Amino acid sequence: MLGYIYSFIKSRNGLDEIGCEKSHLFDAYTLVLIVILLCNCILNLFFVAQPVYSLAFFGLAVLMALTFLLPNQIRFNKKVLTLIFFSLGLVVFYCDIVSGKGVMNYLSYISLTMVLGFFFNYDKDKTIIFILIGIYTAFFLINVFFDHSLFSSLNQHLSPIQQYYVRIYKVIEISLCTFTGIYFVHRKEKLIIKFHVEKQKLNELVKKTDKIPFSRNLYELAMERNSLFIVYFKSQFPDFFENILKAHPNIVSSELEICALLHLNLSTKEIAVATNSTIRSVENKKYRIRKKLNIPIEIDTNLYIINNF
């Protein structure tokens, strides 16, 4: 069921390979966050006897689940992400106040800090990362300075056994976030290795082919949007379109042109220039081509078309 939902979201957004991987990692932590919020809901309802807070955490979990339906331009927006992580810091700050120092709710700051590097680009967004970490540190120090009694009237006065339950949960939460971080690193390493291997294969293929001069001429025709591009492409690769249509007759003419450009190993940006289209439009067409050609997600589109047609 989750796989179906993920496929639906991916098809709706028309993601390419890198976009799919980024969305996958983003979705993975969103799911982890939803699980954490639901666990807080259960903790407050059954172990801490705080149904109001339980309902609040359930509402937050529902809101996070609804973000799956938002377009990636909004989900990946730096301002939106900054607001979300600031809001989550406020939630931890509030929970740390009302539950008291014996509960160790402040450990959730560690969970938030651990994942900042996966949602923000350190080279481009280091200022945002440092500001958020500074805010979390300030929240923690404020509660330490006031001995977790800044708003004493809000204190839940948890019993020792209730505090014990919350501490156990915090250990589980930290462990879950740690394993999620390890998973993120593993996925990124696989992605780097995959593209490195495919780049080597592509370089070897280019060295072996005797059509390099023709490809360069075709590249110039394509980038100039010359109407003779298809004619010259057919003269150099006479069986290309026939082979694709024989294997996949549902490919339409506009997609065949994209396939030809992919066969020349053009990037998405170059194809957008060659077809006078937007990058998003090209990404959508590439995604439809991948589906029609049944290209596995771990295989690069350009490399697949170069090797198979």
Question: 253-263 vs 301-308: helix axis angle to the nearest 10?
Answer: 90
Q: What is the pLDDT of residues 66-120, one digit of tens each?
A: 988 888 788 888 898 899 899 999 999 998 888 887 788 888 898 888 888 778 8
pLDDT of residue 205: 60
Instruction: Classify residue 141 by burial, with Cβ atoms within 10 Å: 0-12, 13-18, 19+.
Output: exposed
Q: Where are the domains of the chain?
A: 2-193, 209-308
pLDDT, position 204 = 64
**pLDDT given at position 82:** 93
Q: And the tokens for 14? A: 């028309």
Q: Are 139 and 113 in contact (CB under 8 A)?
A: no
pTM of the predicted model as reported, rounded to 2 decimal places: 0.57
Whole-number Å distance between alpha carbons of 131 and 88 = 14
Q: Which residue ranges of the chain lie beneath pLDDT 50?
A: 1-15, 208-214
C-alpha–C-alpha distance, residues 233 and 241, integer Å: 10
Q: Tell me how far CA of residue 248 lies from CA of 243, 255, 263, 289, 306, in angstroms.
A: 8, 11, 16, 10, 16
Q: Which residue has the tokens 């390099």?
A: 212
Residue 240: what residue type?
Answer: F
Distance (Å, whole) CA 295 – CA 298: 8
The whole-number pLDDT of residue 2 equals: 40
Structure token pair of residue 130: 């440092």
Ramachandran class of 100: left when φ > 0, alpha when ψ lies in -120 to 50, beta otherwise: left
Instruction: Tell me the helix, strand and coil percentages in the chain, rounded to 5.
Output: 80, 0, 20
pLDDT at 120: 84
Distance CA 21, CA 194 (A): 12
The first and second tokens of residue 138, run together, are 């300030």
pLDDT of the residue at 202? 65
